[in-house]
Amino acid sequence: MAKEKVILAYSGGLDTSVIMKWLKENCDYDVIAVCCNAGQKEDFDAIEAKARKTGAIKALTVDLREEFITDYIWPTLKAGESYENYLLGTAMARPLMAKKLVEIAQQEGAFYIAHGCTGKGNDQVRFESAIHALDPAIKIIAPWRMSDWKFSSREELIQYSVDHDIPISQSTEKIYSRDENIWHISHEGGELENPWNEHYDTIHVLSVPPEMAPDKATYVEIDFEQGVPVAIDGEKMGPIELLTKLNELGSKNGIGTIDIVENRLVGMKSRGVYETPGGTILFAAHAGLEELILDRDTAHYKKIVAEKYAEILYNGLWFTPLREAICAFVDVTQENVTGTVRMKLYKGNAIVAAKKSPYSLYNEEFATFSKDEVYNQYDAEGFINLWSLPLKIRAIQKETAEGGAKHHETLERKVLKASEFVE
């Protein structure tokens, strides 16, 4: 009788390497390892070979990079989201990875998907919520939450790997938990677990520390069409090429590293160091362009929507009607977000130096402090009188209440006319 198949979300890292071996030793499953290439710098041939050596009956790598950028990163960029000052990266990739795992499970006739997320993290929610949304018949295997799983720390996983001849890059001295894709890399664990410890410069993978960046600023121009970046310095580029180029520029100039304590979905606070070099440049440029184009009410309301969008994304609710509705709203706001932004990159700072758009609502004739022929400053007087009328009425009411009946009778006979009270 053929064994049941389980699809393992496999990175080749510490957790999933141990899980591969553990599933073979403790469960009667055939394991198919699926590695998702979301732009991380890995030797995927070596990862596949490692998976087969560790016990997988099949090892696959799926290239998600372009779909990840166009269908997940660009919508998020257009929304302008930020979760507690974190541009997000891991959270954007998880729903797409889950989607591919479900597709492969359906193709392979597998009814199980396994992952290496811990019971303390957000990713377990993101993966499983997406899987449930896409195929509720699939069952989840999460070893970190199973009673048969005897490991309680990364140190124990490392020792198991040594005992079972599983090649890993982690050590007890360098124990960071990392997640990388074409948008960012995250660092957690180790000395970072104490917020009093300053993170070491050696933690940097994508960007140099700002102190090591060039002393001369770098300028780059980014063209946007309907909120989507399409060219750098006038050269049209595909999404992978464009983001890779901006990552290189951001990295060289120390752009996009943050060190924060965030509020996890599961209820605890967590410290992480995140590097997002190209993404930080794009978010600053996109926001700068929107300043020219969006009207006041839309711009202000969009900030409210962006915060909700960030929560949805962080909390693993990508495949929901609310996320789709918000994206529909955002797409309308982006119809005229077309133009060019010149960015100044200098020692960790991504600064909007100049911007232009054929749809700009900025009108120099109206905005100038010099003499103009289009604005009558006397018009402001009537506007201010009407704008502040509720405040005046409230003040009158207060005076009446405090001044007694006689004062009240006097005020009732007066009428507000041309900013004066008359009989």
pLDDT score at 251: 97
> What is the pLDDT confidence band of residue 416, given thresholds at 50, 70 and 90?
low
N-term to C-term CA, the chain: 101
Alpha helices in 169-238 (DSSP H): none
Residue type for position 280: T
pLDDT tens track for 231-262: 999 999 999 999 999 999 999 999 999 999 99
pLDDT in tens, 66-105: 999 999 999 999 999 999 999 999 999 999 999 999 999 9
Answer yes or no: is pLDDT of 405 > 70. no
Give the whole-angstrom CA distance, residue 221 versus residue 350.
12
Which entry of 94, 126, 154, 323 is annotated as an active-site residue?
Answer: 94
Q: Mark whether 123 is an active-site residue.
A: yes
Q: Which of 17, 65, 123, 186 is the catalytic position?
A: 123
State pLDDT tens for residues 277-304.
999 999 999 999 999 999 999 999 999 9
How many CB atoms within 10 Å of residue 3?
Answer: 11
Domains 4-65+85-171 and 184-294+337-363 share a fold: no
User: Residue 366: phi, psi to the nearest 5?
Assistant: -80, -35
pLDDT reported for residue 373: 73
Give the torsion sign (CA, 149, 155, 160, 165): positive
Percent of the chain at pLDDT exceeding 90: 67
Which residue bears the tokens 């392979």?
108
Q: How confident is the model at residue 420 (pLDDT cuts 50, 70, 90)?
A: low
Q: Are 85 and 258 in contact (CB under 8 A)?
A: yes
Domain 4-65+85-171, CATH? 3.40.50.620
94 is catalytic: yes
Q: Quick check: is 15 catalytic? A: yes
Fold that domain 184-294+337-363 belongs to in CATH: Argininosuccinate synthetase, chain A, domain 2 (3.90.1260)
Domain positions in the chain: 4-65+85-171, 184-294+337-363, 379-422
